[in-house]
Amino acid sequence: MEKKKVLLCVTGGIAVYKAADLTSKLVQSGYQVKVIMSESATRFITPLTFQALSRNEVYTDTFIENNPEVIAHIELADWADLILVAPATANIIGKLAHGIADDMITTTLLAAAAPVWIAPAMNVHMYDHPIVKSNIEALHQTGYSFIEPNEGYLACGYVGKGRLEEPEKILEHIQQHFSVKPLFKGKTFVITAGPTKEKIDPVRYFTNRSSGKMGYALAEQAAQMGAEVILVSGTDSLPPPKGVQIVPVESAEDMFHSVMKYASSADVIIKSAAVADYRPKQTFDSKMKKQPGNLIIEMERTKDILFELGQIKKHQFLVGFAAETNDMETYAKDKLVRKNADMIVGNNVSEKGAGFAGDTNIVTIFHKDFSTVSLPLMSKQETAKRILLEISKKWGDDHHS
């Protein structure tokens, strides 16, 4: 493996000693490590410690430019394959969430194109503060990933959530990140995500609770595994995954035409969007006015995209989703047969942790031969990875490749 480059940004909390341990473990595992320290971090441990452990210069000040040929924070941002902020204080999280660039770490992060991971460490009440929560959510939306803190004894004497994840665990996450194989190199994926909006008039429409997070996670993971990904998206509220072509759509009809346009060139089609089954039969070009009494809107069926794909598929591996509130297994197996799909991913959206808008999911994968794989509660990114590995396994069997 070529030596992967990890840029470690260390901010000022008592957990800085764990960052020193992590630096040592990363170097021993064959990574190149460069360290930036905030001024507060240098109050806990000197830069010399990190220099000795990483065998590289440690950066602490935006205005110290030792090499006149480059701008240090731009060069560091370009150098990294992965950027990790650990420990991340409430302060650095707040600054990043608001685009403040007033030191070496924040200027480097604003110039970075590599994935950024944040490992928070702070007092339990600070971590639970609404402002900190909202800053974390803002960074999530920007595409940053988080390594959740542990629960345990904190330096302040409290016991609760806020302890920096152990260096061994962080190292595991990093190794997992870099060990993603290009399983789908040269393959084209068409993935649908999010809700559809069915127009009534210029200001009203029917929609559903889908956030699109699952489809976006699948697109991101498939791209990381080497696939060319076309994401047909009914949502515009999520940051676009890196290296993915987005095709924005609104209605079920739009989605049908976009998917059909790319279906013949696809190797794998994943229908994870929540498409409206019905749309208003009549739509209005100007806003409907209130009338006395009740309103009845007649609805007509939309095209069943998964069914249509099942009818025309040749070499494609076709995956559908079944979001159910009861009898998931019955519906999912029925869907496999009726829609001529190769795989159905079923999730009971009434279960805690498996709903539409959350960051976690609990799914059961149903294969064409009716074999099933049940996954526990896990993040949507991790769920996406497992679904793709199942596709790779079954597809390999079917295509003997």
335 is in an annotated binding site: yes
Instruction: Work out the angle at residue 172's Cα, subtended by the Cα atoms of residues 148 and 128, and round it to the nearest 5 degrees.
Output: 5
Say what the alpha-carbon torsion angle 66, 67, 68, 71 is, to the nearest 10 degrees.
-90
197 is in an annotated binding site: no
333 is in an annotated binding site: no
Pick from 345, 316, 380, 320: nearest CA to 188: 316
Pick from 107, 49, 146: nearest CA to 360: 146
Q: Which residues are catalytically annotated?
A: 156
How many Å from the N-terminal Cα to the C-terminal Cα in the chain? 24
CA distance 317 to 137: 35
CA distance 254 to 15: 51
Instruction: Work out the angle at residue 2's Cα, subtended by the Cα atoms of residues 180 and 67, and round it to the nearest 5 degrees.
Output: 120
CA distance 110 to 257: 38
339 is in an annotated binding site: yes
CA distance 267 to 276: 25
Only one residue has tokens 């800085």, namely 16
Residues at the binding site are: 277, 287, 321, 335, 339
**Binding site members for CTP:** 277, 287, 321, 335, 339
